[in-house]
Amino acid sequence: MANSSAVTAALRLSEKLPFPLKRLADLAYNYWWSWSGDRIALFQTIDPQEWERCGHNPVAILESASYERLTQLAEDPFYLKQISALAKEFDQYLLQKDTWVSGVAPQLSKDNPIAYFCAEFGIHESLPVYSGGLGILAGDHLKSSSDLGVPMVGIGLLYRQGYFRQRLNRQGWQEDYYIDNPFQHMPIELVKTQNGEPLIIHLDVRQRQVKVQIWQVQVGRVTLYLLDSDREDNDPIDRWLTGHLYGGNLETRIAQEVVLGIGGVRALNALGIQPSVYHLNEGHAAFCTLEVARLEIEKTGKSFYDIEATVRNRCVFTTHTPVPAGHDVFSPDLIDSYFAQYWPQLRLSREQFLALGARRLGDPWEPFGMTVLALRMTRACNGVSELHGQVSRKMWTVLYPQHSEDKVPIGYITNGVHAPTWTAPLLGDLYNQYLGEDWKTRAMLPEMWAKVDDIPDEELWWRHRVLKERLIAYTRYKIRKAREQRGEDYHFIQSTDTLLDPDVLTIGFARRFSPYKRGDLILRDAERAKKIFSNAQHPVQIIFAGKAHPADEEGKRIIQRLMEWCRNSGLNNRVAFIEDYDIYTGQKLVQGVDVWLNNPRRPLEASGTSGQKVCFNGGLNLSVLDGWWCEGYKAGSDGKGLNGWAIGEDAHTSDQELQDRIDSQSLYQLLEQEIVPLYYNQNAQGVSSGWVQMMKTSIKTNAPLFNTDRMIADYVSQVYVPEIAKSVEPILAKVLV
């Protein structure tokens, strides 16, 4: 059993702090502070420039601050009161017994928690072990589980260099580079044994034994364990198993999934944690089910097929991918090289083992699918929106030949976002006044959100404008910095001072630049787009952000085309691209834009959550009816949107070129005929009452549904608690050899 080493880390840090500031160490080592009401000033006040330089890392800022500066803060009565109040709130949070889950599902206990496996976790920008939506969702999942008191531990990988960093050259082409993460100076702690040595698990990977150490991260009441192979006593190749997120080739991918799935179960065992449920968030963790089976066989002496039902009863699965090509599959030869010594431990033959991951049984060349394995070895599976559930049932009907498509046992739980993390403090303060100071703990209640009607239009409008002004200032800062680093022309650098305008209707578009997301759809008709953006009376501006995967050449070309538009003098500084998209940039965008644009090819967006974050900040969605927006969009009797706008409505065709033309025309028409006129129909005080009404309707209709408190409540009632959850019959995967 490991010791409580995170406490040790906080104690070590507190030793360098003046007595009145010592509680800052406790707060620094628990990411709860990042969704507290005082998150803006708590650590930034110490040294704003250093806070920016260290990537908003609370441990690094406390370690680097001079003792002189710390003693200055120690005699500031306002700062001390802030720390005292926050520390008291933190202590009460950790000690709270009467949580939501204690009243709803008291059978869930800390002794047998939910183990939540995911390849990436987006907790905060100072812990860069995430790439995008899957990781952000996983981070929000842990945060709401903590808030609701759901006993949970997270299992992931600690990547030495994380996902790649992005910079654009003077031709607008994305260049990828990597930076080592300074683990020893981050809000994480190496788990150690009682004698002070790192707690190690052993894995056979590529016919070599690999030693994996475990780090822990505190996320409120939830602990996240991250596995790390970067040890000097490992082969140099194996040290890089946890080097990059989604990097390398298929060999790297399968090796990482062995570490995550099999290593994750072994780590929990070494920690003395016996989960009641293993939750696989996407197929990357599917090997987890095999290790659970191996341990059960070792304990009982029974065959794999005798214990299969027991394993399935303990495992659940969430799929996020709406197309077959997006699911990890490995060739039989690759499986042979990694599992030839493993399947005998399951008392299976090669053919029986391969059958566990085969879509069609009996084909010796059939690839081994991680999603197939997850579906076969779990008792419950869900997609992440209603539409995605339908798509997943159709996609995997081959595995359920005894069922019609609509009876395929794959349900859905629509994703949400963690409201305290993504709601701007300035809006949160407004909610405190009109919804009640406990609004964060009542995010699931429609009757509470209905009170936004009591907020004066002028009050909501000016606070939103302040957030937009902050976004524009941040965008100018980031773009100026990027232009300076590229050695751009002096006048081009200086032009950032007039880039964008807080009084102009502002659109945001930020996500991975994969071709199906159509990041440049709004520029498809160049002349029409230019007229919209550069209109002298009612202009429009747009801010882009996001990365293309290093291997995605077409995605990089889309970014390059956008960068060309940023240089177009006829657009009057109305188009901007922020490089190196991360959580902090995402927060500024969703909190400051007027309109959030999302235009993927339907039905390729499983859920999407960025637009949900916009809702909590008064922004409006302009989106294709895909993912969560199918459930969120509300139209009036005249067919017009009440809480946002639907691009292309239900006009769908398999002809991609035609679909792009239909959707781009719809997008332009909505902007020209509805969105722009409504925004600029302002009174003498500069407030558009019609626009504010849509803002309030968006908050009222979307906030109660698309938050992770509701999402976690659904997982508890539909999936986690066996007495409540609906079990499904096994998928045939038995090959008798």
Q: Are 510 and 544 in contact (CB under 8 A)?
A: yes
Sign of CA dihedral 294, 298, 304, 308: negative
Q: How far apart are CA 212 and CA 456, in angstroms?
A: 56
Residue 318, classed as helix, strand or coil, is strand
- Among 41, 61, 37, residue whose Cα is nearest residue 50: 61
Region 98-410: CATH code: 3.40.50.2000
pTM summary value: 0.95
Reduce the DSSP state of residue 161 to 3 states and report it.
Answer: coil
Q: Do domains 98-410 and 432-704 have the same CATH topology?
A: yes
Mean pLDDT over 624-635 rounds to 95
- Return d(Cα 414, Cα 606) in angstroms, integer: 9
- Kindly write down the DSSP assignment for every residue of 385-440, as one continuous string: SHHHHHHHHHHTGGG-TTS-GGGSS-EE----B-HHHHS-HHHHHHHHHHT-TTGG
When pLDDT is cut at 50, 70 and 90, the band that residue 674 belongs to is very high
Q: Are residues 546 and 526 in contact, defined by beta-carbon separation less than 8 angstroms?
A: no
For residue range 290-329, list pLDDT tens digits in order. Answer: 999 999 999 999 999 999 999 999 999 999 988 776 678 9
pLDDT at 737: 41
Query: Are 37 and 419 within 8 A, CB to CB?
Result: no
CA atoms within 13 A on the CB side of 524: 17
**Mean pLDDT confidence for 274-302:** 97
Question: By CB neighbour count within 10 A (0-12 exposed, 13-18 middle, 19+ buried), where does 330 fall?
Answer: buried
Name the DSSP class of 675. I
Q: What is the DSSP letter of 610?
A: H
pLDDT in tens, 541-560: 999 999 999 999 999 999 99
Cβ of 308: how many Cβ atoms within 10 Å?
Answer: 20
Measure the CA–CA gap between 32 and 144, rounded to whole angstroms.
11
Write the burial class of residue 208 (CB in 10 Å: 0-12 exposed, 13-18 middle, 19+ buried).
Answer: exposed
pLDDT of residue 731: 56
**For residue range 27-49, what is the model confidence (pLDDT) as tens digits?**
999 999 999 988 788 999 999 99
E strand or H helix at 174, and its extent?
A: strand 174-177
| Mean pLDDT value across residues 482-497 | 94
Percent of the chain at pLDDT > 90 equals 89
Q: Which of 519, 523, 522 is nearest to 510 (CA)?
A: 519
Q: Are 61 and 51 in contact (CB under 8 A)?
A: yes
Cβ-based burial of 50 (10 A; exposed 0-12, middle 13-18, buried ≥19): middle
Site of tokens 């006593």: 233
d(CA 144, CA 142): 6
- For residue 338, what are the CA distances in angstroms to 205, 286, 344, 562, 567? 6, 15, 13, 43, 50
Confidence (pLDDT) at 7: 58
Q: Output DSSP code: residue 78.
A: H
The pLDDT value given to residue 325:
64
β-strand 165-168 against 174-177: which pairing, if any?
A: antiparallel
Q: Is 515 exposed, middle or buried, given 0-12, 13-18 or 19+ CB atoms closer than 10 A?
A: middle
Exposed / middle / buried, residue 176 (Cβ in 10 Å: 0-12, 13-18, 19+): middle
**pLDDT 10s digits, 75-100:** 999 999 999 999 999 999 999 999 99
Banded model confidence at residue 730, pLDDT cuts 50, 70, 90: low
Kindly state the average pLDDT of the residues 131-138. Answer: 95
On whether the CB atoms of residues 10 and 26 are closer than 8 A, the answer is yes
Cα gap 440→426, rounded to integer Å: 14
Q: How many angstroms separate the CA atoms of 405 and 386, rounded? A: 15
Closest CA to 589 of 430, 708, 422, 705: 422
Residue 654: the pLDDT is 80
The amino acid occupying position 470 is R
* 630-641 mean pLDDT: 94
Location of structure tokens 């809702």: 615
User: Residue 732 — very low, low, confident or very high, per pLDDT cuts 50/70/90?
Assistant: low
Class (C level, CATH) for 432-704: alpha beta
Q: With 50 as the cut, is the pLDDT of residue 735 above it?
A: no
Model pLDDT for residues 169-215, shown as the tens digit of each residue: 999 999 999 999 999 999 999 999 999 999 999 999 988 999 999 99
Distance from C-alpha of 665 to C-alpha of 649, rounded to nearest angstrom: 12
Structure confidence at residue 727 as a pLDDT band (50, 70, 90): very low
Sheet strands side by side (includes 595-598): 575-578, 540-545, 505-510, 595-598, 620-624, 644-647
CA 189 – CA 399 distance, rounded (Å) = 43
pLDDT of 729: 53
Radius of gyration of the chain (CA): 26
How far separated are the first and last CA of the chain, in Å rounded? 41
pLDDT tens-digit series, residues 221-271: 999 999 999 999 999 999 999 999 998 899 999 999 999 999 999 999 999
CA distance 138 to 381: 16
DSSP E strand stretches across 231-283: 277-281
Type and span of the H or E element at 216:
strand 208-219
- Contact (Cβ atoms closer than 8 angstroms) between residue 117 and residue 275: no
- The predicted pLDDT at position 464 comes to 98
Q: What does the pLDDT average to over 605-613?
A: 94
Paired tokens of 114:
């939910």
The answer to whether residues 17 and 79 touch, using CB atoms and an 8 Å cutoff, is no
Token look-up 């920016």 returns: 52
- Residue partners of 367: CB distance under 8 A and separation at least 6: 329, 330, 331, 332, 357, 358
Q: What are 351-393's pLDDT values in tens digits?
A: 999 999 998 887 778 999 999 999 999 999 999 999 999 999 9
Q: Is 650:408 a contact under the CB 8 Å cutoff?
A: no
Domain boundaries, the chain: 7-93, 98-410, 432-704
Q: Is the pLDDT of residue 724 over 70?
A: no
Count CB-CB contacts under 10 A for residue 53.
Answer: 13
The percentage of residues in the chain with a pLDDT greater than 70, rounded to a whole number, is: 96
Per the model's pLDDT, the better-predicted residue between 474 and 731 turns out to be 474
Average pLDDT, the chain: 94
pLDDT tens sequence across 578-600? 999 999 999 999 999 999 999 99
